[in-house]
């Protein structure tokens, strides 16, 4: 190591050191590997100690540091090693006779711990962990410490904070050890879902715009649950999440987008839907995804496809209304047969899946799929394609819109709120330092900040924000509504998906206003100036057609 660098590292204040590490790791895949490997060696050499129940939750509690040290384990690919620590943490709660109050510091920390367990188990599932006896033991012990904590909470009149963790652990056991026998607990909401509260507000419903996706009639704004993939967006208990869903349903936002890999989104949403009165639950539209990110572990056969469908419907505890399919490599042509199978399943097993869509397919391959399906089964079969579309990503205008119009496919768009950058908060604000601890950016903001940089400069972005604000003031709406309305007005756009931090913020009242907004020709021309023409072509040339960023 260069001597000057050595001195620099030893003298830097921690915030600059952290920011520099983030820059290094995010800009260079090989340094990311070295970093994680090095951290793992050090963590293995000094694994956290197990504090006693009174140390963890006593008069000078140390649960915050303990949870931080477990977080280091599972985020450095040591998910299995983290499980006994979670088990210990949960076992200490009854032993220390721990008490908490709604929203006090401890309850919020327990909710965060629950989010951490969800994340650790998700990592474990994604690593396709080998079903060893050690892993079975770890999961069963965690499951039983969760159940003991539930019994303790109920008998002490405390709201049980680990429902999401239980759903996720049970799901992992089901996947990895299908023979494990588990008791299924009902979700006790404490406050209970207000059955009358989920009744639709008829007046609001009447003002919503809807669109047909094959046999489905859906509102033109969906709720998006990518935000449940990581505690980096903040963590909420299942009760708070369900209350948000309840509010969204009441005002008519009944369609929700999620995916197999969005943490516990399918489990949380499924458990919500299954508590609704039947007549209301029947109108809820669950849109999930089957994302094949690498060569499948098994040959692509009708049974393999059915397994994937059954898996989604099991996790949702019922039907998937729209199943969107992502495929990793256009050279591996199995996706064509898979799509034929999926469409066939909508007919043979309508109780499992209603309609099929694509996810992040480019124009050429969307057309290829439509033609193949027409040849094989005499119908287009797919109803939608989910892609990024916003004022700063107008690549779909180059080819995608025309393909969709030709075959009657609707676009479901993400990034239309630019990860939250299309809001008053960012008017006249400096560009965020994405590596700084203080910036507190969500993963969506990180993603779309990159997109802003591809599209233009921060000054250009400010000019766009100011234009949005002027139009918003003219129509008495929020600037986010103007951005969403512009996308909704584009040809073939079925709906925009609004990222929703369920239990934390859902922006539903604001998003409702999108439906009362009509952009006039002058507004549209002003916005087109930022989005269309050379900009769209430049982005298309620079990053490729829709979805190509997922296949590099």
Ligand X SMILES: NC(=O)c1ccc[n+]([C@@H]2O[C@H](COP(=O)([O-])OP(=O)(O)OC[C@H]3O[C@@H](n4cnc5c(N)ncnc54)[C@H](OP(=O)(O)O)[C@@H]3O)[C@@H](O)[C@H]2O)c1
Residues forming a β-bridge with 414? 388
Smallest distance from ligand X to CB 450, Å: 12
Is-contact 104 154, C-beta < 8 A?
no
Residues in CB range of 41: below 8 A, 6 or more apart: none
Smallest distance from ligand X to CB 21, Å: 25
Complex with ligand X: residue 20 or 436, whichever CB lies closer: 436
Output the CA torsion sign for 325, 330, 332, 338: positive
Complex with ligand X: residue 170 or 523, whichever CB lies closer: 523
Is-contact 409 382, C-beta < 8 A?
yes
Is-contact 318 353, C-beta < 8 A?
no
Complex with ligand X: residue 149 or 483, whichever CB lies closer: 483
Smallest distance from ligand X to CB 8, Å: 35
Smallest distance from ligand X to CB 20, Å: 27
- What's 424's DSSP letter? G
Complex with ligand X: residue 85 or 361, whichever CB lies closer: 361
Alpha carbon 419 to its chain centroid, in Å, reads 12
Smallest distance from ligand X to CB 517, Å: 12
Complex with ligand X: residue 198 or 359, whichever CB lies closer: 359
Smallest distance from ligand X to CB 525, Å: 23
Q: What share of the chain is helix, strand, coil (3-state, %, to 5)?
A: 55, 10, 35
Residue 550 sits at φ, ψ, to 5 deg, of -90, 0
Smallest distance from ligand X to CB 2, Å: 40
Is-contact 233 226, C-beta < 8 A?
no
Q: How far apart are the first and last CA of the chain?
A: 33
Longest dimension (CA), the chain: 71
Complex with ligand X: residue 225 or 409, whichever CB lies closer: 225
Smallest distance from ligand X to CB 418, Å: 5
Residues forming a β-bridge with 325? 290, 358
4 token code pair: 């000057």
Instruction: Name the residues that contact ligand X, by CB under 6 A.
Output: 224-227, 257, 359-360, 386, 414-420, 423, 444, 478, 480, 497-499, 501, 505, 507, 510-511
Residue from 541, 263, 262 nearest 414 by CA: 262
Residue 504 sits at φ, ψ, to 5 deg, of -125, -55
Neighbour tally for 405: CB within 10 Å: 11
Smallest distance from ligand X to CB 457, Å: 20
Smallest distance from ligand X to CB 237, Å: 17
Distance CA 480, CA 482 (A): 5
Complex with ligand X: residue 94 or 224, whichever CB lies closer: 224
Smallest distance from ligand X to CB 57, Å: 32
Neighbour tally for 352: CB within 10 Å: 19
Smallest distance from ligand X to CB 37, Å: 29
Smallest distance from ligand X to CB 230, Å: 12
- E strand or H helix that includes residue 521: helix 521-531
Does residue 447 sit in helix, strand or coil? helix
Smallest distance from ligand X to CB 504, Å: 7
Is-contact 385 357, C-beta < 8 A?
yes
- What's 540's DSSP letter? H
Residue from 408, 415, 427 nearest 367 by CA: 408
Distance CA 296, CA 332 (A): 11
Residue from 295, 293, 320 nearest 309 by CA: 320
Which alpha helices (DSSP H) does 321-407 contain, by range?
334-348, 363-377, 400-407
Residues in CB range of 213: below 8 A, 6 or more apart: 322, 355, 357, 383, 384, 410, 494
115 token code pair: 């989010």
Complex with ligand X: residue 170 or 266, whichever CB lies closer: 266
Complex with ligand X: residue 241 or 444, whichever CB lies closer: 444
105 token code pair: 């510091």
Is-contact 230 445, C-beta < 8 A?
no
């Amino acid at each position: 190591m260069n001597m000057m660098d050595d001195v620099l590292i030893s003298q830097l204040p921690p915030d600059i050191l952290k920011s520099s590490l983030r820059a290094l790791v995010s800009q260079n895949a090989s340094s990311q590997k070295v970093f994680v490997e090095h951290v793992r060696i050090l963590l293995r050499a000094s694994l956290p100690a197990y504090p006693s129940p009174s140390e963890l939750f006593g008069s000078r509690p140390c649960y915050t540091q303990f949870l931080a040290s477990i977080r280091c384990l599972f985020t450095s690919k040591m998910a299995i090693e983290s499980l006994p620590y979670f088990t210990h943490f949960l076992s200490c709660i009854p032993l220390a006779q721990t008490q908490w109050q709604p929203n006090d510091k401890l309850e919020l920390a327990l909710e965060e711990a629950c989010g951490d367990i969800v994340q650790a188990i998700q990592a474990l599932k994604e690593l396709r962990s080998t079903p060893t006896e050690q892993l079975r033991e770890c999961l069963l012990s965690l499951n039983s410490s969760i159940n003991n904590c539930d019994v303790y909470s109920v008998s002490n009149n405390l709201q049980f904070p680990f429902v999401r963790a239980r759903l996720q652990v049970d799901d992992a056991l089901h996947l990895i050890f299908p023979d494990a026998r588990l008791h299924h607990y009902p979700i006790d909401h404490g406050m209970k879902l207000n059955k009358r509260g989920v009744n639709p507000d008829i007046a609001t419903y009447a003002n919503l715009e809807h669109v047909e996706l094959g046999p489905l009639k859906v509102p033109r704004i969906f709720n998006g649950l990518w935000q449940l993939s990581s505690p980096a967006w903040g963590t909420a208990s299942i009760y708070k999440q369900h209350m948000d869903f309840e509010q969204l349903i009441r005002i008519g936002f009944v369609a929700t987008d999620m995916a197999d890999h969005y943490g516990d989104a399918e489990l949380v949403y499924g458990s919500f839907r299954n508590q609704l009165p039947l007549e209301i639950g029947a109108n809820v539209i669950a849109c999930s995804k089957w994302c094949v990110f690498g060569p499948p572990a098994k040959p692509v056969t009708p049974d393999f496809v059915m397994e994937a469908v059954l898996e989604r419907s099991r996790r949702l505890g019922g039907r998937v209304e729209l199943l969107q399919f992502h495929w990793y490599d256009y050279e591996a042509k199995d996706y064509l047969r898979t799509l034929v199978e999926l469409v066939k399943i909508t007919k043979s097993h309508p109780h499992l899946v209603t309609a099929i869509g694509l996810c992040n397919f480019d124009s050429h391959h969307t057309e290829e799929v439509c033609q193949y399906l027409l040849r094989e089964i005499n119908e287009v079969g797919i109803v939608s394609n989910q892609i990024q579309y916003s004022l700063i990503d107008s690549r779909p205008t180059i080819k995608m819109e025309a393909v969709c119009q030709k075959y009657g496919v609707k676009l479901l768009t993400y990034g239309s709120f630019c990860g939250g950058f299309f809001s008053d908060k960012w008017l006249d604000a400096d560009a965020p330092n994405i590596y700084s601890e203080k910036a507190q950016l969500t993963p969506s903001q990180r993603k779309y900040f990159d997109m802003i940089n591809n599209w233009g400069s921060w000054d250009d972005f400010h000019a766009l924000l100011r234009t949005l604000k002027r139009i918003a003031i003219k129509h008495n709406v929020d600037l986010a509504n103007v951005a969403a309305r512009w996308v909704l007005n584009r040809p073939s756009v079925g709906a925009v998906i609004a990222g929703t931090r369920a239990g934390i913020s859902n922006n539903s009242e604001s998003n409702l206003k999108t439906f009362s907004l009509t952009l006039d020709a002058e507004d549209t021309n002003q916005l087109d100036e930022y989005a269309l023409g050379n900009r769209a072509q430049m982005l298309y040339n620079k990053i490729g057609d829709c979805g190509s960023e997922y296949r590099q």
